[in-house]
Amino acid sequence: MLTLTTTHKPATDLGFLLHKNPARMHTAELSFGAAHLFYSETNEERCTAALMLEIDPIRLVRGQTTSGEGGLFGQYVNDRPYVASSFVSAAMAEFFGTAMGGRSKERPELADTEIPLEVHISVIAVRGGETFLQELFTPLGYEIETYRLPLQEKFPEWGDGHYFALTLRKTTRIKEFLNHLYVLIPVLDDGKHYFVGKAEIEKLLHRAGDWLPTHPLKDEITSRYLRRQKVLTREALARLAEDSGDTDPDETEIGHDIEERMVERVLSLHDIRLNQVVEELKKSGAERMLDLGCGEGRLIQLLLKEKQFQEVAGMDVSLSVLQRAERRLHFDTMSEKMKERVRLLHGSLVYRDRRLAGYDAAAIVEVIEHLDEARLAALERMVFEFAKPRTVIVTTPNSEYNVLFATLPSGTMRHKDHRFEWTRAQFSEWAARVAATHGYTVTTSGIGPEDETHGAPSQMGVFVRSTHG
Ligand code: SAH
């Protein structure tokens, strides 16, 4: 939880600055859980907005594109739900996008005025300790108050942890205040919950272009922000040096509004992937859709937003993920009309299943790599020989890209449950063979930002049936 307070009078103007009505509770469903914004205090003297995140550790593991520290155990048991991290920045972008852009419809002159602001973060992990904290915020003119939280009160001999309660105060414009936090919270924490690619450089330049170039810790901040990816860091530092001092906020305003939404929403590799699959399916003209190995139904959710898809059936072998899909899709409160459009099927893709016949298209997103060779052969027949929709879209990781994931030890795969991960050549070869065997043509392409040498992080094959039968 993080609270933002002002003592500017009338303090209730904070609601206008943040573009969030103090009388209401605001909730957003983000990829990692729910974020809530509410006001814990509203009067003329003092107004406090509280940002609270409810992070779902299971979702973190499922959405994961890189394996975290500490192996499988570390993936489920970690500090992420309890500390302020890049999730907070994502929630800030969601709730405070307008304020961070320096705009306020009702109080434009106040948005441009320096007012007393204070943020309190109840727990934040600080890599580099108190010294680093001081070195980060002092040059920016903050008054800092920290309290190092004991690792375990019962066992003082375990020493200190790296968790702090933190209060920062400064009289400044709301935009500047929020942008400092947005960039520096993940820097303190030294981690990011999502895939970091080139788009992240744009975000850094946008949020920090006017203060980072003169910050004494410019290099360290940039490196941490870009998850210590050397190539990206070098490029960002070069561009920070170029742009230094002359960014015109007005000129780029509109572009940034769009960028904000794009970057926050699309940044996770999985979101990029799902959006690309939806685009392909739209192009295919399909109306009746299958999502095979649908997991918790994220693709289904996107498909249902498009009128073109009159019917969507998701299938998965795991009952528990299907239950999660029911919740995500709000089965309990769904309208009759929607109920007719969507169906969840429990079943395995390696057995012939009559329920899957007669659909226009099938998506198989990040599923094949979970199957061993014999099962994959069975899936091929099941999909391309028996169900045989006109269009089939298959996605799978591109193993060549793994070397670029900073946290992935070399030679390992992205998920513990993956049976294989293919290079671009291996995938193309498989796709070509499957297509030729079953009377389809196929085109393969990359998903996500393309690296010159290693290609894109994920890959997709679009199969179109060329013969009838
Ligand atoms: N397509 C989803 C989920 C990918 S994870 C997404 O992109 O978010 C892989 C999914 O495949 C899991 O939900 C798993 O339960 C499912 N799966 C694995 N083997 C399967 C099989 N033999 N039949 C059906 N589903 C299977």
Q: What is the pLDDT of residue 259?
A: 36
User: What average pLDDT does the structure give for the chain?
Assistant: 87
Residue to mutate (ligand 1; options 64, 348, 353, 370; most atoms within 8 A of CB): 370
For residues 442-455, average pLDDT: 90
Q: What is the pLDDT of residue 71?
A: 60
Helix axes 218-225, 174-189, angle to 10 degrees: 70
pLDDT confidence tier of residue 234, bands split at 50, 70 and 90: confident
Q: Ligand 1 centroid vs 364 CA: distance in angstroms?
A: 8
The answer to whether residue 448 scores a pLDDT higher than 90 is: no
Q: Ligand 1 centroid vs 316 CA: distance in angstroms?
A: 6
The answer to whether residue 245 scores a pLDDT higher than 60 is: no
pLDDT digits (tens, 9 = 90+) for 341-361: 999 999 999 999 999 999 999
The answer to whether residue 66 scores a pLDDT higher than 70 is: no
| Separation between Cα atoms, residue 329 and residue 323, nearest integer Å | 10
Q: What is the pLDDT of residue 468?
A: 59
For residues 6-15, average pLDDT: 96
Contact 49, 20 (CB under 8 A): yes
Q: Ligand 1 centroid vs 313 CA: distance in angstroms?
A: 14
pLDDT digits (tens, 9 = 90+) for 360-387: 999 999 999 999 988 999 999 999 999 9
**Residue owning the nearest CA to atom 8 of ligand 1:** 295
Q: Ligand 1 centroid vs 126 CA: distance in angstroms?
A: 36
Q: Ligand 1 centroid vs 171 CA: distance in angstroms?
A: 51
Task: Say whether 466 sits in a helix, a strand or coil.
Answer: coil
Candidate from 50-64, 91-105, 382-396 with smallest mean pLDDT: 50-64
Higher pLDDT, 411 or 168: 168
Q: Ligand 1: which residues within 6 Å by Cβ?
A: 293-295, 298, 316-318, 321, 348-350, 365-367, 370-371
| Separation between Cα atoms, residue 363 and residue 280, nearest integer Å | 10
For residues 7-26, average pLDDT: 95
CA 228, 397, 281, 340 torsion-angle sign? negative
Q: What is the pLDDT of residue 349?
A: 94
pLDDT digits (tens, 9 = 90+) for 300-346: 999 999 999 999 999 999 988 999 899 999 998 999 999 999 999 99
Q: Ligand 1 centroid vs 392 CA: distance in angstroms?
A: 16
Index of the ligand 1 atom closest to the CA of residue 349: 23
The answer to whether residue 62 scores a pLDDT higher than 70 is: no
The secondary structure of 9-57 as a DSSP string is SSGGGHHHHHT--TTS-EEEEETTEEEEEEEEEESSS-EEEEEEEEE-H
Q: What is the pLDDT of residue 266?
A: 35
pLDDT confidence tier of residue 207, bands split at 50, 70 and 90: very high
Residue to mutate (ligand 1; options 60, 317, 395; most atoms within 8 A of CB): 317
Index of the ligand 1 atom closest to the CA of residue 348: 23
Q: What is the pLDDT of residue 238?
A: 86
